[in-house]
Homo-oligomer: A and B are copies of this chain.
């Protein structure tokens, strides 16, 4: 049984107006268009508000305005090193714009996204940021029907239907693979997460495999493995792979998998990079400090978060698509200790 709490000591705009001896309209303006009210009046109002401990009710305002000052962020998961970085940067940048973040995770279950977007819409968000390009049709149409700005982040495609801010994951996958090929590696294994309904992983894998092809390599099926996003499971999978038939190098779909693989090497007494080279993708916090440091590609998570915040706020204010519509944010290749050149076997 719900019991409504009494609105004990919460003064409203009316109380402030009374105390400052002005109308509520003036109080409202003092907050929303400070330039419109004379300095002395404003001071009186500020004083009154402070005395009373007034906190305005933005929800009430939202009713009249078109804007709630709240932006939705929908991610696969919060509990992920590199998303977390992006999320934090996004939230912080939003605060700078006097906006608040509503966040929800769907755990890679796209069908959950519709419920989530719906719930966001019920809260009258000013915009939504989604991760990647794989989405169901319904949530997208719900958003466009209501003219709520949407952007896709993390991945980049020059021809995406949604405005996007992110790195080209195909290139990232290609980059690390090329690095290995350039160094003379020919027997390369590929460990990627499940790619269904995950365009980032899919693009990375495509990029990696294409690069292999361009390098004259055709990795046999047993060299292409699906691996969960989890250090422990990656480690276990890698142990089997490494024990059976050691490749000369391993391309990992992300740094977490790479970390698992590296630990598997430690556990098996294999030396990295002497016995096997490892590359990751992402450059998670800590990847640089592994022993040896992980060769990987740095995805600028914080930058993407900040840019996304700026873009979605601007879109909600102008009502226009962002400029540029497709924004590629550069990644950088980080060569560290986990890879080394090999002489091709004669």
Does A276 sit at the interface, judged by CB under 8 A?
no
**A285→B55 CA distance, assembly (Å):** 40
Inside 8 A of A66's CB, which chain B residues have their CB? 4-5, 7
Q: Find residues 246-288 in chain A having any chain B CB closer than 8 Å to their own CB.
A: 259-260, 263, 266-267, 285-286, 288
Contact of A105 among B9, B62, B68, B88 (CB under 8 A): B88
> Which one of A3, A55, A263, A267 has the greatest number of beta carbons of chain B within 10 Å?
A55
Does A77 sit at the interface, judged by CB under 8 A?
yes
Does A145 sit at the interface, judged by CB under 8 A?
yes
Does A240 sit at the interface, judged by CB under 8 A?
no
CB <8 Å contact, B55 and A142: yes
CB <8 Å contact, A235 and B289: yes
Does A10 sit at the interface, judged by CB under 8 A?
yes
Q: Which residue of B lies closest to A148 (CB)?
A: B5
Q: Find residues 104-138 in chain A having any chain B CB closer than 8 Å to their own CB.
A: 104-105, 118-124
Does A291 sit at the interface, judged by CB under 8 A?
yes
CB <8 Å contact, B103 and A103: yes
Does A81 sit at the interface, judged by CB under 8 A?
yes
Given A58-B122, A59-B59, A263-B290, verify A142-B53 contact (CB < 8 Å): yes
Inside 8 A of A70's CB, which chain B residues have their CB? 102, 123
* Oligomer: number of copies: 2
CB <8 Å contact, A79 and B87: yes
Inside 8 A of A4's CB, which chain B residues have their CB? 65-66, 319
Does A232 sit at the interface, judged by CB under 8 A?
yes
**A83→B311 CA distance, assembly (Å):** 28
CB <8 Å contact, A59 and B62: yes
Inside 8 A of A160's CB, which chain B residues have their CB? none
A120 to chain B, nearest CB (A): 8
Does A182 sit at the interface, judged by CB under 8 A?
no
A285 to chain B, nearest CB (A): 7
Contact of A59 among B63, B88, B235 (CB under 8 A): B63
Inside 8 A of A235's CB, which chain B residues have their CB? 289
Q: Find residues 8-58 in chain A having any chain B CB closer than 8 Å to their own CB.
A: 8-10, 53, 55-58
Can you list 6 residue pairs at the A/B interface with Cβ under 8 Å?
A3-B319, A6-B147, A7-B147, A55-B142, A259-B286, A263-B290
A residues apposed to B, CB below 8 Å? 2-10, 53, 55-60, 62-63, 65-66, 68, 70, 77-81, 84-85, 87-88, 91-92, 95, 100-105, 118-124, 142, 145-147, 230-232, 235, 259-260, 263, 266-267, 285-286, 288-291, 317-319
